[in-house]
Amino acid sequence: MSGVVKPRVEHPGLPRNALGLSRRAYEGGMSTLCAGCGHDSVTAAIVQACFELSMPPQSVAKLSGIGCSSKTTAYFVSGAHGFNGVHGRMPAIAAGASAANRTLKYLGVSGDGDSLSIGLGQLGHAIRRNMDMLYLLENNGVYGLTKGQFSASADLGSKSKKGESNDHEPIDPVLLALALGATFVARSFSGDKEQLVPLIKMGLMHQGFALIDILSPCVTFNDHEGSTKSYAYVREHLQTPIAADFVESRREITVSYAAGEAVSVEMHDGSNVLLRKLDSSYDPTDRSAALAYVQERAAINEHVTGLIYLGEGRRHFHERHNTPDEALNSLAFDKLCPGSAALERILSRYR
Amino acid sequence: MPELASSPAGVNDFVIKFANVNGTGSASANSLIMKSIFRMGVPVVGKNFFPSNIQGLPTWYEIRVTGDAWMARSGRVDVMIAMNAETYGRDIAEVSPGGYLVFDSTWQRPALLTREDVTVLGVPLAQLCTENFEGARARVLMKNIMYAGVLAALLDLDLEVMRGLLVESYSKKPALVDANMKAIGIGYDYAREHFDCPLPTRVEGLGLTRGHFMMDGNTAAALGCVYAGATVGAWYPITPSTSLMDAFRGFCGRFRVDPETGRNNYIIVQAEDELAAIGAVIGASWNGARAFTPTSGPGISLMNEFIGLAYYAEIPAVLFDVQRVGPSTGMPTRTQQCDLLSCAYASHGDTRHVLLFPANPEECFYMSVQAFDLAERLQTPVFVLLDLDIGMNDWMVPDLKWSDDFQPDRGKVLSPELLEKIERFHRYLDVDGDGIPWRTIPGVGEKGAYFTRGSGHNQYGGYTEDSTEYQAVMERLSRKFRKAAGMVPQAVSNGDGRASVGIVSLGSCDGAVCEALQVLRAGDLAVDYLRVRGFPFGEEVESFLADHEIIFVVEQNRDAQLKSLLTLETAVEKRKLRSVLYYSGLPISSGCIVEGINSALARGEAA
């Protein structure tokens, strides 16, 4: 939430996207997070993804709650409107904002405190409503701004910086999203840009609710020995059954894999997701298998990352409400107000 | 509990009360009677006293027939229709001397449950239904319709008017019209045969209801939302506000479905709780839609954090608080004006909010439209404070007017064209010196992009922890709020303004105060009346308070919340204010106001 604006000095040789914009056009204010914070890497991945997708900056709406993660919406795409709401209630703002204008891309950034404690109900209902949005959950297992309390995603037995042991089982947002019927569920690691950038691109293009749980270590309060959300621990315990690549609609699919290894899934706008199986037994379109897989791996202390589930068939928020293709906030007043003649007809029913 | 010893009941001036069991279909019979009287041109006041229950508990409905067109309860009961054996004892006790009681004489009441000063009329309704109708459910329903027939004879109601209403109600099931008319006929004939019909308390057709209709305030407020162009409604169901969203949904079904595409030009989000409901309203308003939430006191409590965000980040929002009895869950189906303070100062930190106080469904409609204009003009939450009495009871309302030239005031929103003309956009900068900054709607373009936050911010929209920058924004918010005093609906006064005694009241107290004024003035008390219709209070409120020596503040809560608000927010000397409080949960009647003022004056408080 810095008031410091980065000077937009652009080297003429910077790569440009289809809109003629450089990557710098997707940056935001200067981060005020701790040096080395995983969240800053996520911010960089968002910038990269929006740049690569050639998104007009004003077509994005950035939404967040309260906490370190929620501050980051000020650090990317400064040409987009942003809304830093109240703690745990970003999904409600997203519901209203999306209701008013379905034509924008809603990018929500939240954390484990914001999403899994104070805002667990709202997250659940955003999934239930199948809001058309990408929801990034920057997950570090700890409350940073209040100096190091365990969050609801902290693993049982993991140690705090002060050496206390966590007595509660974690709430895993991936399992939650799978159980509640989300159609795009992924997990990644802030330190794995190669994996994260394509996932963010897919999530932005997915129609309906897309959740990416991003393990994003807190360098100040949760990066020590005994933590299961430290850089070292996460790196050693990642397990990725599927490699997913995003191929834009206007690009030909040139990547080729050995037969039987890769599957291409077409998205609503004509772009494709290329899925490459790293674990041949894994099927990312089978919800219950995905649930079982994530649970089994968690039992042996492995964080399953990558695109975990991609499904179809659930109507999203606007389909359920049968709204017009244009934004409700753009409808002319004469379409909304029935007028004086109709009023007389209405009153006649009450005489 | 007769509260006002008014003149004895008579033609076009009496109260019928129905004591029923909840869930037996009595509502349609009671509404048929009220509507028939209304259609005969005689003004009526309908009040429903119902339990927080789906089936089985006692419920009452009261119709005041008032040729003088009073708007409040009178406190009398002249004809009691005692259909609930469980409450028979208290029902007969409630009848005013000289009144009548009709009961189902299929089973005889013990003789002790009579009163010498009440005429008890027995009609064997259950027996007549058993003899004439098949099926248990039909017999229960027809029993209610049958007492409507009895009343038609006793009160001299026009059977053709009743038939007309039934024809309209059952346009899709015409067979029901004949069945209902048969029941009415049986009741009617029985009464004509056994009693001296009509009673002295009877209806004589007048032409006084022309140009009027019957509607509850929630429906009128919902209609206002439709006419104001609201497209997003977010809510969590709560009594007594639920019917507001139900009505909005109904109107949208008629007027907001695109005839060509079949798409809905509205969204109703049934949220997981009130926090999410107000969050969605704020998100939608931030994004340029007109959005609202209907709720009641417990919902306002839950919404507090978000309300503070909307105040500080300057986002429009329209809230309808249909007040019910508190504290806590309180009595959800009873009325009170108990959320004045919790709405005026909702949320932590220094916050003050714009409130509108409709007194009847007519004002619910107009103030609902105005609430959206004010919320967008002032970029702040606006609360419309109804109560259960206004929101859920059917009121006689003068025809609503609508000008097709009406254009909503969307406030200071920078269009892409305006944005193009300015050098730089700063969200919270007071460029016009009126305390109201310009805003932009997401999607307008990079030049208009800004970051909305509830954390400390400066006038440029940047994050701040700097005292001076923080205070500059807070000062401007204060200026903006003071400006609102001249924009909310003005208080209305009654009287020449020269009396030394004044009454200040608001909302649904109005009908009772107006009736009390007549009694007080007839008793040679010079008294002026001011009804406040909005907060912050305007100059006219200050003047009224300054110009009167003794001011009675009439309101429906225990803690004198309006009096507190006047004390806090005007220059009035506290010693001038007296309270007349009524908070039983039933709508106030004139009796307690007359009594409260007269006894205070008799105690010498005027000195």
**Chain A CB contacts of B265 below 8 Å:** 323-324, 328, 331, 335-336
pLDDT of residue A252: 56
* A96 neighbourhood in chain B, CB within 8 Å: 232, 234, 269, 279-287, 289, 291
Average pLDDT over residues A84-100: 97
- Backbone φ/ψ region at B220: left (φ over 0), alpha (ψ -120 to 50), beta: alpha
Q: Please indicate if any CB of chain A lies within 8 Å of the CB of B215.
A: yes
Write the DSSP symbol of residue A111.
Answer: E
Q: Look at residue B410 and tell me if it is in a domain.
A: no
Q: Do A1 and B273 touch (CB under 8 A)?
A: no
d(C-alpha B125, C-alpha B159), whole Å: 19
Nearest CA to A55 out of A30, A31, A83, A25 is that of A25
**Residue B200, in any domain of the structure:** no
Q: End of a domain among B372, B398, B424?
A: B398
Q: Is A255 on the interface with B (CB under 8 A)?
A: no
Residue A314 tokens read as 């659930």
Mean pLDDT value across residues B270-295: 98
Could you tell me if B577 and B544 are in contact, meaning their C-beta atoms sit under 8 angstroms apart?
A: no
pLDDT at B3: 41
- The reply to whether B438 falls in a domain is yes
Please indicate, yes or no, whether residues B18 and B165 belong to a single structural domain of this protein: yes
Q: What is the pLDDT of residue B7?
A: 56
The per-residue pLDDT for B124 is 96
Residue A337 lies in a domain: no
Per-residue pLDDT at B434: 96
Q: Taking CA atoms, what residue in A is nearest to B40? A: A351
Q: Which residues of B touch A101 (CB under 8 A)?
A: 287-289, 442-443
**CATH number of the domain enclosing A117:** 3.40.50.970
Closest alpha carbon to A82 in A72, A92, A74? A74
Lowest mean pLDDT among A12-16, A72-76, B396-400, B532-536: A12-16
Q: Are A27 and A50 in contact (CB under 8 A)?
A: no
With CB atoms and an 8 Å threshold, state whether B445 touches A96.
no
Q: Kindly state whether A180 is in contact with chain B, defined as any CB-CB distance less than 8 angstroms.
A: no
Q: pLDDT value at position A2?
A: 47
Per-residue pLDDT at B185: 97
Q: Which stretches of chain A are DSSP H helices? A: 38-52, 68-71, 90-100, 112-116, 120-129, 173-180, 193-205, 231-236, 287-299, 317-321, 333-336, 339-348
Taking the CA of residue B285 and the nearest CA in chain A, the distance in Å comes to 8
Which tens digits make up the pLDDT trace of B498-547?
999 999 999 999 999 999 999 999 999 999 999 999 999 999 999 999 99
A-B contacts at Cβ under 8 angstroms: 230
Q: For A339-350, what is the mean pLDDT?
A: 97
Cβ distance B529 to B502 under 8 Å?
Answer: yes
- Whether B428 has its CB under 8 Å from any CB of chain A: the answer is no
Q: In chain B, positions 39-98, which contact chain A (CB-CB < 8 Å)?
A: 39
User: Is residue B392 in a domain?
Assistant: yes
What does the alpha-carbon distance between residue A73 and residue A61 come to, in Å, rounded to a whole number?
10
Which residues span the domain enclosing A235? 23-330
For chain B, how many structural domains are there in total?
4
Would you say residue B204 lies in a domain?
no
For B13-160, where are the E strands, in sequence order?
Answer: 13-21, 44-49, 58-66, 79-82, 100-104, 119-123
Average pLDDT over residues A104-113: 97
Per-residue confidence (pLDDT) for residue A339, from 0 to 100: 98
DSSP per-residue letters across A63-105: EE-SSHHHHGGGGB-TTSEEEE-STT-HHHHHHHHHHH-TTSE
Residues B474 and B496 in one domain: no
Nearest to B462 among A3, A331, A335 (CB): A3
pLDDT of B607 above 50: no
Is pLDDT of A1 > 60?
A: no
C-beta atoms of B455 and A336 within 8 A: no
* Domain count of the fold of chain A: 1
Q: Identify from B169, B254, B286 which residue to disrupt to test chain A contact, counting A C-beta atoms within 10 A and taking the largest count.
A: B286
What is the C-alpha to C-alpha distance for residues B316 and B303, in angstroms, rounded to an integer? 15
Judge: A337–B271 Cβ closer than 8 Å, yes or no. no
Residue A350 domain flag = no
Any domain includes A15? no
Please give the Cα distance from A125 to A103 (Å, whole number). Answer: 21
What's the gap in Å between the CA of B397 and the closest CA on chain A?
A: 10
**Closest residue by Cα to residue B554 from B594, B601, B604:** B594
Q: Could you tell me which of A160, A158, A166, A308 has the C-alpha nearest to residue A238?
A: A308
ipTM of the complex, rounded to two decimals:
0.95
Residue B275 DSSP one-character state: H
Specify the pLDDT at position A261.
66
Angle at B446 between CA B445 and CA B450, to 5 degrees: 105
Same domain, B394 and B432: no
Buried-exposed string B225-252: b where 16+ CB fall within 10 A, e elsewhere: bbbbbbbbbbbbebbbbbbbbbbbeebb
Which pLDDT belongs to residue B34? Answer: 97
Give pTM, 2 decimals: 0.96
Tokens of B68: 């003088």
Phi, psi of A326 (to 5 degrees): -80, 160
The CATH number covering residue B342 comes to: 3.40.50.970
Residue B509 · residue B588 · CB < 8 Å = yes
Whether the predicted pLDDT of B75 surpasses 50: yes
Could you tell me the strand order of the sheet in which A272-277 lies?
A242-247, A272-277, A262-266
Find the closest chain A residue to B405 by CA distance.
Answer: A339
Instruction: Compute the nearest-CA separation of A316 from chain B (Å).
Output: 13
Give the angle subtended at the CA of A111 by the CAs of A110 and A113, to the nearest 5°. 125
Cβ-Cβ contacts under 8 Å, A129 against chain B: 269
- Give the mean model confidence (pLDDT) for residues B336-349: 98
Residue count of chain B, please give it.
Answer: 607
Q: How far is B58 from chain A (nearest CA, A)?
A: 27
- Please tell me which residue of chain A has the smallest CA distance to B396: A351
pLDDT of residue A250: 61
The CA distance from B562 to A316, in Å, is: 46
Mean pLDDT along residues B564-592: 97
Q: Are residues B296 and B368 in the same domain?
A: yes
Q: What is the mean pLDDT of chain A?
A: 92
Identify whether B420 is part of a domain: yes
**A122 pLDDT above the threshold of 80:** yes
**How high does pLDDT run on average in chain B?**
95
Check whether residue B179 and residue B35 sit in a common domain: yes
Q: For chain A, say whether B317 makes contact (Cβ under 8 Å).
A: no
Do B340 and B471 have their domain in common? no
Q: Is A47 in CB contact (< 8 Å) with chain B?
A: no
CB B286 to CB A335 under 8 A?
no
Is residue B574 exposed (0-12), middle (13-18) or buried (19+ Cβ within 10 Å)?
Answer: exposed
Give contacts of A342 with chain B, Cβ < 8 Å.
Answer: 255
A97 at interface of B, judged by CB pairs closer than 8 A: yes
Record: contact A96-B269, CB cut-off 8 A = yes
DSSP one-letter string for B167-193? HHHTTT-HHHHHHHHHHHHHHHHHHHH
CA distance B605 to chain A (A): 46
List all residues of chain B from 231 to 250 with a beta carbon under 8 Å from chain A. 231-232, 234
Specify if A86 maps to a domain: yes
Clarify whether residues B479 and B497 are in a common domain: no
| Long-range own/partner contacts, residues A150-155 (CB < 8 A, 24 or more apart) | A151/A111, A151/A112, A151/A113, A151/A116, A151/A117, A152/A112, A152/A113, A152/A116, A152/A117, A152/A120, A153/A112, A153/A116, A153/A229, A154/A228, A154/A229, A155/A228, A155/A229
Q: Could you tell me if residue B389 is inside a domain? A: yes
Q: Which residues of B touch A1 (CB under 8 A)?
A: 451, 453, 455, 463
Q: Which of B209, B261, B267 to mutate to test the interface with A (most CBs of A within 10 A)?
A: B267
CA distance B226 to chain A (A): 6
The Cα of A337 is separated from the nearest Cα of chain B by a number of Å equal to 5
* Among A337, A348, A349, the residue to mutate for chain B (most B Cβ within 10 A): A337
Q: What is the pLDDT of residue B374?
A: 98
Residues B34 and B133 in one domain: yes
CATH number of residue B59's parent domain: 3.40.920.10
pLDDT value, residue B42: 98
Domain containing residue B461: 416-484
Tokens of A34: 């701790």
- CB of A338 within 8 Å of any CB in chain B? yes
**B518: Cβ contacts below 8 Å, ≥ 6 apart:** none
Interface test with B, best of A343, A345, A348, A349 (most B CBs within 10 A): A343
pLDDT-based confidence at residue A121 (cuts at 50, 70, 90): very high
Residue A284 has phi, psi (to 5 degrees) of -75, 0
Query: A152 vs chain B: nearest CA distance in angstroms?
Result: 21
Q: Which of B567, B549, B566, B568 is nearest to B607 (CA)?
A: B549
pLDDT 10s digits, A12-71 = 889 999 999 999 999 999 999 999 999 999 999 999 999 999 999 999 999 999 999 999
Give the side-chain half-sphere CA count within 13 A for B161.
20
Question: For chain A, what's the residue count?
Answer: 351
For B96, residues 6+ apart whose C-beta sits below 8 A from its C-beta are B2, B9, B76, B77, B78
Chain A stretch 125-164, residues whose beta carbon is closer than 8 A to a beta carbon of chain B:
125, 129
The verdict on B432 and B454 lying in the same domain is yes
CATH of the domain at B579: 3.40.50.920
By C-alpha distance, which of A261, A309, A312 is closest to A286? A309
pLDDT for B8 equals 66
Same domain, B503 and B596: yes
Instruction: Give contacts of B 353-392 with A, CB under 8 A.
Output: none
Looking at residue B44, its pLDDT comes to: 97
Q: Which chain A residues have a beta carbon less than 8 Å from that of B208?
A: none
C-alpha A119/C-alpha A141 separation (Å) is 15
> From residue B152, how far is each of A191, A316, B188, B332 by CA, in Å?
82, 55, 6, 33
- Asked if the Cβ–Cβ distance from A1 to B455 is below 8 Å, we say yes
Residues of A in contact with B470 (CB under 8 A): none
Instruction: Note the maximum CA span of chain B.
Output: 89
Q: Kindly state whether residue A265 falls inside one of the protein's structural domains.
A: yes
Report the C-alpha gap between B451 and A47 in whole angstroms. 17
Average pLDDT value for residue range B11-25:
93
- What single-letter DSSP state applies at residue B439? B
Scanning the structure block, which residue is given the tokens 């404070």? B385
- Report whether B556 contacts B509 (CB < 8 A): yes
Q: What residue in B sits closest to A318 (Cα-Cα)?
A: B267
Chain B nearest C-alpha distance from A292 (Å):
29
B122, part of any domain: yes
Distance separating alpha carbons of residues B599 and B601, to the nearest angstrom: 5
Q: Which residue in chain A has the smallest CA separation from B250?
A: A346
Q: What is the pLDDT of residue B204?
A: 97
Top residue of B318, B453, B455 to mutate, by most chain A CBs within 10 Å, is B453
Sorting pLDDT into bands at 50, 70 and 90, what band is B5? very low
- Confidence at residue B4, expressed as pLDDT on a 0 to 100 scale: 44
SS3 B517: helix
Look at residue B420 in the predicted model and tell me its pLDDT. Answer: 95
Of B431, B453, B484, the position where a domain reaches its end is B484
C-beta of residue A93 within 8 angstroms of C-beta of residue A85 = yes
Please identify, among B449, B484, B519, the residue that sits at the C-terminal boundary of a domain.
Answer: B484
CA distances from B274 to B234, B260, B379, B383 (A): 9, 35, 21, 15
Are B388 and B421 in the same domain? no
Which residues, at least 6 apart from A9, have a Cβ–Cβ distance to it below 8 Å?
A: none
B131 touches chain A (CB under 8 A): no
pLDDT at residue A253 greater than cutoff 60 = no
Chain A contact present for B398, CB below 8 A: no
